[in-house]
């Protein structure tokens, strides 16, 4: 039982220190600077901000155009 | 996004298609497995549900008795469906956000096969009466290595993608995904050590059991669902999330508080009072991440709700994020001793669990599949009607289920607190609500079948390629993808 407790406490301390270290690492890396740009990092030239990227099948604006051409 | 990528849109587009292509095999096998196990879990759940209002239903088959089929329902739901859906989501989302190809695709595909064999063996073992009897860890120990090994592959792939990423910023979804890969192995190993491997005895085992039982939902399913919502909602409507500051506060407060909440399951049990108080405090502190996440998801949608009419992904994502807020508030309040005096050991808890898992987590996984599968396969979903059927069945089935169970649970708890109420009267009172629950489950099952048909069609090779490309909304995108497709096909030859 004693060794189990030693293991659990050691595990918890290592995990806790790792989380604190990760937070410090993220701050040093500048992860929390310029958050406005961070929020926009999922957009790109092909799927830019302001563009809707999902529609029901056959109901996207382009498809309506193509249907008309056919 | 790196500076090089920002200045070269052509590279970005090609890169994204290649990212999606590299993910096709591995992610598809995980998501196909998820739907297979969701179907099995739903059938097992329906059998379990029917047995509660009709005890003779399949009553003469020993391997379908309630004590066996119910753990199979939960384990196939949380590991079979939840584990594989979350793994596929983790791989694809991380690849996209890192702008890198999925590494070791053959290893990941092999991992998917091994994981399925593990769940199958474990479920058969439970049906044969070999359950360990520890809630959420019922699968026999011989099945566990088959679940752990594939997860090691996923952890390695995840870290490899992160450390070779072409982006400089770690998006909030990536925080959640990286955390899941660290938290889940710690959870499983610690809980197995303290329960089935017998490192501790007595009430300490119960504490470990419920610490795990709560956290497998909160530190595995929930972060994956939130990561999906943080990506899908802004991506689909083309609007960045409302407050990136709050999103990071939400992640770190979630990381600090969720872990403490599990012991509230043991309120009234033979534990030191302080262990339960810690669980209650941890649960109430969860209001901080839940409110920050809720503000972000709902305020981002403000002014964009009209897109719900036209986007299947958004429908499921918004349903999931709204129910996340509701079920989390419900869960925090449910931890209070005064609340549990009524609802503990009643159907209310069952209603809450399903509200969270099938109302929040599952719709976000469906949203992820609806968004990603056309991009992975180059095919289109074959039927808008089937998607609509799936959505309405999921929403209505879930509401029928959760409302009936929560109402029945409150009434059941109040009656149980009345010492003059005969126990059989309480049982009889719940029977109509148990029928309604089975009805809710059947509606959910109908939605699952609709999704299965659509999923089966979309994974057929080149069956509907470019017929109705939902994912391409301008002609430029369409031509670019078409050219890239031709180029890749020539390379294949």
Confidence check: pLDDT of A65 > 70: no
Residue B113 lies in a domain: yes
Can you tell me the ipTM of this complex?
0.84
B383–A40 C-beta distance less than 8 A = no
Looking at the domain assignment, is residue A64 inside a domain?
no
Which residues in chain B have Cβ-Cβ distances shorter than 8 Å to A70? Answer: none
* pLDDT value of position B489: 66
Residue A60 in any domain: the answer is no
State how many domains chain B has.
Answer: 1
**Residue A5 located in a structural domain:** yes
Please write the tens of the pLDDT for every residue from B106-164: 999 999 999 999 999 999 999 999 999 999 999 999 999 999 999 999 999 999 999 99
Q: Return the residue of A nearest to B477 by Cα.
A: A46
The string of pLDDT tens digits covering residues B218-243 is 999 999 999 999 999 999 999 999 99
Q: Is the pLDDT of residue B482 over 70?
A: no
Residues of B in contact with A50 (CB under 8 A): 238-239
Q: What radius of gyration, in Å, describes the C-alpha atoms of chain A?
A: 25
Query: Does residue B313 sit within a domain?
Result: no
Q: Is residue B10 part of a domain?
A: yes
Region B459-486: what's the mean pLDDT?
59
Q: What is the pLDDT of residue A62?
A: 62
Is residue B462 very low, low, confident or very high in pLDDT (cuts 50, 70, 90)?
A: low
User: How many independent structural domains does chain A possess?
Assistant: 1
Whether B98 shows a pLDDT value over 50: the answer reads yes
Q: Which domain holds residue A8?
A: 1-36
Choosing among A13, A29, A56, A63, which should be mutated to test the B contact, i.e. which has the most B CBs within 10 A?
A56
The verdict on residue A65 lying in a domain is no
**Residues of chain A positioned with their CB less than 8 A from the CB of B477:** 46, 62
Mean pLDDT (chain B) is 90
CB A62 to CB B472 under 8 A?
A: yes
- Domain ranges, residue B137: 1-169
Pick from B263, B148, B256, B277: nearest CA to B205: B263
Which residues in chain A touch residue B97, judged by CB atoms under 8 angstroms apart? 42
Q: How far is CA B145 from CA B124, B141, B151, B157, in A?
A: 16, 8, 10, 19
Among the residue ranges B18-27, B331-340, B396-405, the one predicted with the least confidence is B18-27
Distance in Å, alpha carbon of B124 to nearest chain A alpha carbon: 32
Tell if the CB–CB gap between B387 and A56 is shorter than 8 Å: yes
pTM of the predicted structure, to 2 decimals: 0.91
User: By percentage, how much of chain B surpasses pLDDT 90?
Assistant: 77
pLDDT score at B488: 65
pLDDT band at A70 (very low <50, low <70, confident <90, very high): very low
Would you say residue A55 lies in a domain? no
Nearest to A60 among B170, B200, B473 (CB): B473
Does residue B318 surpass a pLDDT of 70? yes
Tell me which residue in A23, A35, A49 faces B238 most closely, judged by beta carbons: A49
Domain contains B196: no
In angstroms, the CA B290 to CA B327 distance is 10
A57 touches B at CB < 8 Å: yes
Residue B342 lies in a domain: no
Q: Is residue A44 part of a domain?
A: no
Within 8 A by CB and 6+ apart from A46, the residues are B9, B12, B13, B16, B477, B480
In the predicted structure, residue B479 carries a pLDDT above the cut 70: no
Q: Quote the pLDDT of residue B469.
A: 47
| pLDDT number for residue A68 | 45
Helix B222-237 to helix B362-377 angle (10° resolution) is 60
pLDDT tens digit string along B259-291?
Answer: 899 999 999 889 999 999 999 999 999 999 999
Q: In this complex, is the C-beta atom of A42 within 8 Å of any C-beta atom belonging to chain B?
A: yes
What is the pLDDT at residue B480?
64
**Given an 8 Å threshold on Cβ–Cβ distance, is B381 in contact with A32?**
no
A63 touches B at CB < 8 Å: yes
Residue B7 has pLDDT above 50, yes or no: no
Q: Confirm or reject contact between A24 and chain B (CB < 8 A).
A: no
Please write down the long-range contacts of B168-172, taking CB distance under 8 Å and 24 or more positions apart.
Answer: B168/B1, B168/B2, B169/A31, B169/A37, B169/A38, B169/A41, B169/B1, B170/A26, B170/A29, B170/A31, B171/A38, B171/A41, B171/A42, B171/B97, B171/B230, B171/B231, B172/A38, B172/B227, B172/B230, B172/B241, B172/B244, B172/B247, B172/B248, B172/B251
Q: How far apart are CA B353 and CA B428, in angstroms?
A: 23
Tokens of B2: 């790196």
Give A70→chain B minimum CA distance, Å: 12
How close does chain A come to B425, measured CA to CA in Å?
Answer: 47
Does the pLDDT at position B181 exceed 60?
yes
- Chain A residues near residue B381 by CB distance under 8 angstroms: 57
pLDDT of residue B180 exceeding 80, the answer is yes
> In Å, what is the CA distance from B280 to each residue of B255, B285, B287, B436?
16, 9, 12, 31
Is A45 part of a structural domain of the chain?
no
Chain B interface test: which of A55, A61, A69, A70 (most B C-beta within 10 Å): A55
Partner B contacted by A25 (CB < 8 A): no
Residue contact B1–A45, C-beta within 8 A: no
Are B244 and A61 an interchain contact pair (Cβ–Cβ within 8 Å)? no
**B214 Cα to chain A: minimum distance (Å):** 18
CATH number of the CATH domain containing B27: 1.20.210.10
pLDDT number for residue B199? 83
Count Cβ atoms below 10 Å from residue B101 Cβ, excluding itself: 16
């Amino acid at each position: 039982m004693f060794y189990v407790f030693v293991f659990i406490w050691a595990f918890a301390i290592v995990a806790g220190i790792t989380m604190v270290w990760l937070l410090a690492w993220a701050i040093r890396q500048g992860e929390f600077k310029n958050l406005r740009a961070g929020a926009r990092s999922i957009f790109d030239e092909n799927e830019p901000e302001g563009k809707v990227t999902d529609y029901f099948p056959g109901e996207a604006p382009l498809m309506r155009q193509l249907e008309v051409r056919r | 996004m790196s500076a090089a990528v920002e200045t070269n849109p052509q590279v970005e587009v090609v890169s994204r298609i290649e990212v999606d292509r590299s993910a096709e095999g591995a992610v598809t096998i995980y998501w196909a497995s998820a739907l297979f196990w969701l179907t099995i879990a739903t059938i097992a759940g329906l059998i379990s549900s029917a047995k509660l209002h009709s005890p003779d239903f399949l009553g003469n088959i020993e391997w379908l008795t309630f004590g066996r089929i119910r753990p199979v329902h939960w384990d196939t739901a949380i590991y079979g469906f939840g584990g594989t859906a979350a793994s596929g989501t983790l791989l694809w989302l991380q690849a996209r956000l890192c702008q890198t190809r999925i590494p070791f695709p053959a290893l990941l595909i092999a991992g998917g096969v091994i994981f399925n064999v593990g769940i199958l063996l474990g479920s058969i073992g439970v049906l044969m009466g070999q359950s360990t009897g520890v809630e959420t860890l019922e699968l026999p120990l011989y099945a566990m290595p088959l679940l752990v090994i594939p997860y090691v592959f996923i952890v390695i792939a995840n870290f490899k993608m992160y450390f070779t990423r072409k982006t400089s910023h770690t998006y909030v979804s990536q925080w959640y995904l990286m955390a899941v890969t660290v938290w889940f192995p710690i959870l499983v190993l610690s809980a197995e050590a303290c329960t089935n491997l017998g490192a501790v005895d007595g009430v300490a085992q119960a504490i470990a059991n419920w610490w795990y039982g709560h956290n497998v939902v909160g530190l595995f399913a929930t972060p994956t669902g939130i990561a999906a919502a943080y990506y899908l909602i802004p991506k689909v409507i083309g609007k960045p999330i409302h407050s990136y500051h709050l999103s990071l506060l939400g992640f770190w407060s979630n990381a600090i508080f969720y872990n403490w909440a599990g012991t509230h399951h043991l309120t009234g049990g033979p534990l030191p009072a302080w262990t339960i108080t810690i669980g209650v405090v941890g649960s109430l502190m969860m209001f901080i991440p839940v409110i920050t996440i809720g503000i972000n998801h709902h305020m981002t949608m403000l002014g964009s709700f009209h897109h719900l009419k036209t986007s299947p992904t958004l429908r499921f994502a918004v349903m999931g994020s709204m129910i996340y807020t509701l079920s989390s508030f419900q869960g925090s309040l449910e931890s209070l001793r005064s609340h549990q005096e009524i609802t503990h050991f009643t159907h209310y808890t069952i209603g809450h669990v399903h509200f969270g898992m099938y109302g929040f987590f599952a719709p976000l996984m469906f949203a992820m599949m609806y968004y990603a599968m056309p991009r992975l396969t180059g095919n289109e979903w074959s039927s808008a009607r089937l998607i609509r059927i799936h959505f309405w069945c999921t929403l209505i089935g879930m509401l029928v289920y959760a409302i009936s169970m929560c109402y029945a649970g409150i009434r059941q708890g109040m009656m149980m607190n009345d010492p003059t109420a005969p126990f059989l009267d309480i049982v009889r009172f719940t029977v109509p609500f148990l029928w309604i629950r089975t009805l809710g489950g059947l509606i959910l099952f109908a939605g699952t079948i609709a999704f299965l048909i659509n999923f089966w069609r979309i994974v057929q090779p080149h069956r509907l390629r470019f017929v109705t490309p939902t994912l391409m909304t301008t002609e430029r995108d369409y031509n670019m993808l078409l050219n890239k497709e031709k180029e890749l096909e020539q390379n294949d030859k």
